[in-house]
Structure 1
């Protein structure tokens, strides 16, 4: 059976979404890396910097997956099974959604307030809160992008499964 390319993961929209996913994860790395030591200068907020490494890890995983699949897709001329996209895009989406939402809920200074500085130190609590919100917003944008890619992968997997089933029926009808 000729294996047509059902996934069409080289479509401009899919490549564009993968590039957008890479672009939205890149600013998260320096933002979160800056906030981790900056939390040492603020009063213990109950969360400290404990959730920020989760955002960093989820963003790093998403960046690695998206970059790898983009390079493989552009370098190889062979199709990648759409089920691979389903599994990894699902992991990216769920990890980004979980840590981004948890971070947004647990950030102490909600819109317009700042962290309380330790005595005798200038901590830039308002800047710290702003940088954390920036990292969360960029992670959520990437999360939406990964959700769109996940929906596409599920649809491509369904089309691939149905086409193989249809091809098998056709072969059986010809053989009979």
Structure 2
């Protein structure tokens, strides 16, 4: 395949964005895993069992996809078809972005304050709110890297399609 180097999936920027996706999803796991049981001490707001597990699932999918494709790409000598990247990067970006936005919308009233305690005064509502915002920010950074990877995959798929078409025309011209 005669694609330019920057359309190849082994370009340093693409590998770097995959690594960034992996790094930014790693802190989301312990942060959200800690917040789910911590919501038992604060007023029931719908975030703990309603939204946080979905963000955790979106982060897990993104982590698994990025880690798998990074290992496969570095282990194989042949490039992976860019259409595979389009499908999985779109799924990863769309799912993680949607659930992170929903989580941020639910948490928005607690942006500058803390959660109200269910019983007593010491429930760690401020720490809980800050940890959730940290997880949301890390998820949004991962969403940005996934968006860039999705745009690259669309562009690389177009280049791949055009290079195949150009090669077929060249063969027809030589045969004629």
TM range (shorter): over 0.9
- TM-score calculated relative to the size of structure 1: 0.94
Which residue in the other structure is 2:96 paired with? 96
SS class of match (1:107): helix
SS class of match (2:120): coil
**Is 1:71 the equivalent of 2:106?**
no
Contact 2:41 2:117 in 1 (8 A): yes
* Unaligned stretches of 5+ residues in structure 1: none
Write out per-residue CA displacement over residues 46-68 of structure 1, whole angstroms, 9 at most, x where no aligned residue.
44431000000000000000000
Which residue in the other structure is 2:42 paired with? 42
Contact 2:41 2:119 in 1 (8 A): no
Give, in whole Å, the separation in 2 of the partners of 1:15 and 1:118. 46
Give, in whole Å, the separation in 2 of the partners of 1:42 and 1:108. 16
Paired positions, count = 174
Write out per-residue CA displacement over residues 85-109 of structure 1, whole angstroms, 9 at most, x where no aligned residue.
1110000100111011000001164
Write out per-residue CA displacement over residues 23-56 of structure 1, whole angstroms, 9 at most, x where no aligned residue.
0000000000000000011111244431000000
- TM-score calculated relative to the size of structure 2: 0.94
Contact 1:41 1:121 in 2 (8 A): no
Contact 2:3 2:159 in 1 (8 A): no
RMSD: 1.4
Which residue in the other structure is 1:27 paired with? 27
